[in-house]
């Protein structure tokens, strides 16, 4: 089953408002003819409203980097899914490893956030991935399984089809160390098999699984050739129009290696 590739940029806590708009303007101009893949940018919360105005007539979609699962209330500092919807976000990153590491995100909160996002019609980009120690101790697949089972608990097939998974080995994020295409493909294939065997059967074939972790212009083509790699979640290299554009405009023959 053909899965439309997704290239998503996670700007993390970088850029001023002016820099954000300048970057979006350049990206729109450099990618205006791209139509066979989805482009998503995830700027910091304060820039989302203005960013929407900038990209609203383009092929660039807008995502947030996090959300809270409650609809509204006395939750100082949090941002609800309906707030994101009101500034026309279509996507939201959930469970990024930096949120798990620094802000106490768990599979349980990830699960609640996924359900809240889906209920409002947003597309969750759900991050999972192992640490270097977990990989070296041979616990990688078990860690992935626990995150998949906990994060996606109680979701129906139709809901799973609407979300995007991002496999991001923590040791590769922001370190310059990319998983090889073979290492990434091994885990992507495992995630798809877990979903198929566990609950979702053939539905797993239509779920997009992105790779994230030091994706750069130099490695995107090789990564995208792998059968189960359906796109990329890009941090550092999404902060410059030239590098992100080269990643968006990857060239790959699926399944040729
Ligand atoms: C990320 O933030 O999701 C990420 C993969 O970052 P980087 O591309 O910088 O490793």
Domain borders along the chain are 6-248
- Contact of 11 with 44, CB cutoff 8 Å: yes
Name the nearest CA neighbour of 97 among 159, 156, 171.
171
Query: What band does 256 get if pLDDT is binned at 50, 70 and 90?
Result: low
> In angstroms, what is the span from residue 201 Cα to ligand 1's centroid?
30
Residues 44-62: b if buried by 16+ CB within 10 A, e if exposed: bbebbebbbebbeebbbbb
pTM of the model: 0.96
Per CATH, the architecture of 6-248 is what? Alpha-Beta Barrel (3.20)
pLDDT for the residue 254: 75
Give the pLDDT confidence of 202-249 residue by residue, as tens digits: 889 999 999 999 999 999 999 999 999 999 999 999 999 999 999 999
pLDDT for the residue 90: 98
> In angstroms, what is the span from residue 180 Cα to ligand 1's centroid?
15
Query: What band does 9 get if pLDDT is binned at 50, 70 and 90?
Result: very high
pLDDT for the residue 137: 94
Q: Is 215 in the pocket of ligand 1 (CB under 6 A)?
A: yes
On the question of pLDDT at 257 being above 60, the answer is no
Ligand 1 atom with the smallest distance to the CA of 236 is 9
Q: Is 110 in the pocket of ligand 1 (CB under 6 A)?
A: no
pLDDT for the residue 252: 81
Pocket test for ligand 1, best of 101, 128, 236, 238 (most atoms within 8 A of CB): 236
Please confirm, yes or no, whether 168 is among the known catalytic residues: yes
Please confirm, yes or no, whether 156 is among the known catalytic residues: no
Which of 52, 96, 188, 225 is catalytic? The answer is 96
> In angstroms, what is the span from residue 31 Cα to ligand 1's centroid?
21
Which of 98, 105, 168, 225 is catalytic? The answer is 168
Ligand 1 atom with the smallest distance to the CA of 212 is 5
């Amino acid at each position: 089953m053909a899965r439309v590739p997704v290239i998503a940029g996670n700007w993390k806590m970088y850029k001023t408002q002016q820099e954000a708009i300048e970057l979006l303007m350049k990206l729109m101009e450099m990618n205006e003819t791209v139509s066979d893949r989805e482009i998503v940018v995830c700027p910091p919360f304060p820039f989302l409203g203005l960013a929407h105005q900038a990209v609203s007539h383009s092929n660039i979609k807008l995502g947030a980097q996090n959300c809270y699962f409650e609809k509204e209330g006395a939750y100082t500092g949090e941002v609800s899914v309906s707030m994101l919807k009101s500034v026309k976000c279509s996507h939201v990153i959930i469970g990024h490893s930096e949120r798990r590491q620094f802000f106490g995100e768990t599979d349980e909160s990830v699960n609640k956030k996924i359900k809240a996002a889906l209920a409002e019609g947003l597309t969750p980009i759900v991050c999972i991935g192992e640490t270097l120690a977990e990989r070296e101790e041979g616990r990688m697949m078990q860690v992935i399984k626990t995150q998949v089972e906990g994060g996606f608990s109680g979701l129906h097939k139709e809901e799973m089809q609407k979300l995007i998974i991002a496999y991001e080995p923590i040791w590769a994020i922001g370190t310059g160390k990319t998983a090889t295409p073979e290492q990434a493909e091994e885990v992507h294939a495992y995630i798809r098999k877990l979903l198929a065997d566990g609950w979702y059967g053939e539905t797993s074939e239509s779920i997009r699984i992105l790779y994230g972790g030091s994706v750069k212009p130099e490695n995107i083509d090789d990564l995208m050739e792998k059968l189960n790699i359906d796109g990329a979640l890009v941090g550092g290299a999404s902060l410059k129009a030239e590098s992100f554009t080269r990643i968006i405009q990857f060239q790959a023959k699926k399944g040729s290696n």
